[in-house]
Amino acid sequence: MPEGDTVWRTAHRLDQALAGSPLQVADLRWPSLATTDLRGATTLEVISRGKHILQRLDSGRTLHSHLRMEGQWRVEATPQVTARQLAGDRVRAVLGTADWTALGLRLGMLDLVPTADERTLVGHLGPDLLGPDWDPSLAVANLRREPGRALGAALLDQRNLAGIGTLWAAESLFLEGLHPWTPVGEVDDDALAGVVERAHRLLSTSQHLAVQTSTGSTRRGETSYAHARSGRPCRRCGGSIRVAMIGEPPQERTMFYCPGCQGGLGPTDDGRTQRPLGSGPRQTRAGYRPR
């Protein structure tokens, strides 16, 4: 699932393309919005809130979208958009001005609400790691609300802090040397504040980069320390990076980690040999309804 930095870049691109010009095309291919006509409305701004995208219109309404696992917004110069592109069965929304057209492909959510009611969609989210109102103290306090919860699972809960996903959670925990399954209540204040700050720093850096990297390298296979590297040697200790599930059903997520650097095997890890991703039978990552 795209994480907050990717969603921020998407919203920024949509804002650059659509803000300030009236919509000449507004085709929403979503059951609840199929008869909605937004033509003539002008986009005031497009912003991200965690993993959510909010397109605010001068009509007092907000078009909300979420990419979930496979969604994306693609921006094309309006004169270059082809009939074939518009007819694709993956297209869920077409928003076009005289100059630019945004195609929403495989979107996971699409809603239209009064701008004053945006909180019904995103009000449950914790402080946004990339938002102007980012508050690390509030994020730490939110994490502390469930002291018995595994730290990795708590970090992934968007009600605690918004925008982080499995990539940046795994990388933040690895770089801070924290075991993902340690109960939050057993993590001291400095360590908890440290992993929150690390996540903020990683996302803040990545939001301006074309390639997500925590290592500083943009070469394929060299962009992460732990994430998506199960079965491969740890860049620090040389031991094997592993992957196991974290969290309670139905919201389990994959967590990549190094037992050598992060305090041993996780309780959901059976310790069996793991092949590198892509070298054996296909490994899948658990999904969940976005928060």
**pLDDT given for residue 243 in this prediction:** 98
Percent of the chain residues past pLDDT 70, beyond the cut: 96
**pLDDT given for residue 142 in this prediction:** 99
Look at residue 290 and tell me whether its pLDDT is greater than 70: no
> Active-site residue among 3, 49, 232, 242?
3
Q: Which tens digits make up the pLDDT trace of 172-188?
A: 999 999 999 999 999 99
> Active-site residue among 61, 229, 253, 291?
253
Q: Is residue 63 part of a domain?
A: yes
Contact indicator for 161, 39 with CB cutoff of 8 Å: no
Same domain, 199 and 230: yes
Domain hosting 103: range is 4-122
Which domain-ending residue is among 90, 122, 154? 122
Give φ, ψ of 95 to 5 degrees.
Answer: -125, 115
Residue 195 to residue 172: CA distance in whole angstroms: 6
Look at residue 131 and tell me whether its pLDDT is greater than 80: yes
pTM of the model: 0.92
Percent of the chain residues past pLDDT 90, beyond the cut: 92
Which domain-ending residue is among 122, 156, 173? 122
Residue 55 to residue 47: CA distance in whole angstroms: 7
Annotate 192-256 with three-state secondary structure: HHHHHHHHHHHHHHHCCCCCCCCCCCCCCCCCCCCCCCCCCECCCCCCECEEEEECCCCCCEEEE
> Active-site residue among 2, 127, 180, 259?
2
Token output for 21 = 């010009």
Same domain, 109 and 146: no
Q: What confidence category does residue 138 fall into, taking pLDDT thresholds of 50, 70 and 90?
A: very high
∠ CA 272-274-276, nearest 5°, is: 175
Q: What is the CATH number of the domain that holds 66?
A: 3.20.190.10
In the three-class reduction of DSSP (H, G, I as helix; E, B as strand; rest coil), residue 27 is classed as strand
Indicate if 51 belongs to the active site: yes
**pLDDT given for residue 280 in this prediction:** 57
Contact indicator for 51, 3 with CB cutoff of 8 Å: yes
Give me the helices (H) in the chain, please. Answer: 4-18, 83-87, 119-122, 136-144, 151-156, 166-176, 189-206, 259-262
Same domain, 110 and 207: no
Q: Is residue 225 part of a domain?
A: yes
Q: Of the candidates 2, 3, 54, which has an alpha carbon nearest to the alpha carbon of residue 163?
A: 3
Q: Is residue 277 part of a domain?
A: no
Q: Is residue 276 part of a domain?
A: no
Instruction: Give the count of domains, the chain.
Output: 2
> Active-site residue among 49, 51, 229, 291?
51
Indicate if 3 belongs to the active site: yes
Same domain, 73 and 182: no
Q: Is residue 52 part of a domain?
A: yes
Q: Of the candidates 19, 154, 175, which has an alpha carbon nearest to the alpha carbon of residue 99?
A: 19
Same domain, 140 and 254: yes
Q: Which tens digits make up the pLDDT trace of 9-63?
A: 999 999 999 999 999 999 999 999 999 999 999 999 999 999 999 999 999 999 9
Same domain, 166 and 232: yes
**pLDDT given for residue 197 in this prediction:** 99
Residue 13 to residue 6: CA distance in whole angstroms: 11
Alpha carbon 212 to chain centroid, angstroms? 12
Question: C-alpha distances in angstroms, 22 versus 113, 123, 149?
Answer: 19, 28, 48
Tally the C-alpha atoms within 13 A of residue 156's C-alpha that lie toward its C-beta: 29
Q: What is the CATH number of the domain that holds 200?
A: 1.10.8.50
